[in-house]
A and B are shown apart, each in its own frame.
Chain A
């Protein structure tokens, strides 16, 4: 028996090649003591927190809006002076086509620290929908709708909309666009789904 009361030497022989690492586990167990038992109130998963809507104080909102407006103006000046380069170049640009002749270009921008892939969808030739109706861009897996990347409306000509994919893109095999609330038909889809 050791001084801890646990017969480590009986369980693990001196010649045991794993003795050192088993000893570390043994020592940590003795030092840590037992983990606490969960009370019934914690036996079940607590409610998943809902997204918070943060209402800014009016005065602070005005200040932030003012700063944002200034930033836009400064960006415009810089854009005019410095050239036409976007501050963020796409890491990937994907072409999409629809059976009725619609086309789109989906520019995927660098992932942000939170795991979002900001995207810009430039779409032409899609039919404008009645007021209140939208299209949805989906990521697909095995050719089936998997995760929504946002909804958008279109007007005549070309429409450019910012969208977002907060998902690991490598787990999916393409994008499609459908009318919101439907799963078919694909009015736009990537060629390599």
Chain B
């Protein structure tokens, strides 16, 4: 297990950072349109929703944590400057943001002239094809964005089940909640993720 687990504790408030879970009902499309009008609150909301998916995308493209972190700001600069080009009749906000993020990361990569994992391999690869990689990248973007829509109690059990490798019983013991509640929250979380994927946010 990679992560060190820390049980959530009411007596130990989390450090105040960007909200992990967005509570706003405003769609991504509306937020982008508001960013086009230079509304800072909308930009903050978009950042809260997409900072981690953007960092994940940059990590996969660049393969270097330092450069990936640097590129996050470049992506959001591009979002701020390009928001006026968004047209909701041509697609959902999640797809527009993915395109902007991918292009900004590729541009940053080219400017630095540094070979990366994303550069064409010099030998015949037996790994995924470019199309498969693109599809995987897009799917990862979508599911990471959808994760940001989950309420904290569902997000916690999904994290523990999928990313920390705990069994449902171990999650129940860890969170000190009934096993049935763990299963209910897990199913509810999966359902909400499916809703987000279908609605494309």
Query: What total of chain A residues lie within 8 Å of the partner, measured CB to CB?
Result: 40
Please give me the residue from chain B that is nearest to A12 by CB atom: B187
Cα of A35 to Cα of B47 in the assembled complex, Å: 15
Q: In the complex, which residues of chain A have a beta carbon less than 8 angstroms from the beta carbon of B15?
A: 43
Cα of A34 to Cα of B155 in the assembled complex, Å: 11
Output the least CB separation between B175 and chain A (Å): 16
Q: In the complex, which residues of chain B have a beta carbon less than 8 angstroms from the beta carbon of A152?
A: none
- Answer whether A48 and B51 are a contact pair too, CB < 8 Å, given A7-B167, A10-B168: no
Is B69 a contact partner of A42 (Cβ separation < 8 A)?
yes
Query: What total of chain B residues lie within 8 Å of the partner, measured CB to CB?
Result: 50
Is A11 a contact partner of B187 (Cβ separation < 8 A)?
yes
Is B194 a contact partner of A22 (Cβ separation < 8 A)?
yes
Output the least CB separation between B126 and chain A (Å): 19
Chain A CB count within 10 A is highest, among B18, B43, B136, B162, for B162
Q: In the complex, which residues of chain A have a beta carbon less than 8 angstroms from the beta carbon of B163?
A: 33-34
Cα of A147 to Cα of B125 in the assembled complex, Å: 56
- B140 on interface, CB distance cutoff 8 Å: yes
Q: In the complex, which residues of chain A have a beta carbon less than 8 angstroms from the beta carbon of B53?
A: 35
Output the least CB separation between B64 and chain A (Å): 13
- Tell me which residues from 49 to 103 in chain B have a Cβ below 8 Å from any Cβ of chain A: 51-53, 55-56, 59, 69, 72-73, 76-77, 80-81, 84-85
Q: In the complex, which residues of chain B have a beta carbon less than 8 angstroms from the beta carbon of A7?
A: 167-168
- A31 on interface, CB distance cutoff 8 Å: yes
- B201 on interface, CB distance cutoff 8 Å: no
Is B72 a contact partner of A42 (Cβ separation < 8 A)?
yes
Residue interface mask B33-46, A partner, CB < 8 A = 1 = 10011001001100
Is A22 a contact partner of B52 (Cβ separation < 8 A)?
no
Output the least CB separation between A92 and chain B (Å): 20
- B147 on interface, CB distance cutoff 8 Å: yes
Q: In the complex, which residues of chain B have a beta carbon less than 8 angstroms from the beta carbon of A37?
A: 52
Cα of A34 to Cα of B140 in the assembled complex, Å: 9
Q: In the complex, which residues of chain B have a beta carbon less than 8 angstroms from the beta carbon of A40?
A: 17
Given A10-B168, A42-B69, 20 new contacts (CB under 8 A): A5-B165, A6-B161, A11-B190, A12-B187, A18-B194, A21-B194, A22-B191, A22-B194, A25-B194, A28-B139, A29-B193, A33-B140, A35-B56, A42-B55, A46-B76, A46-B77, A48-B43, A114-B85, A166-B37, A167-B37
- A residues apposed to B, CB below 8 Å: 5-7, 10-12, 18, 21-22, 24-26, 28-46, 48-49, 113-116, 166-168
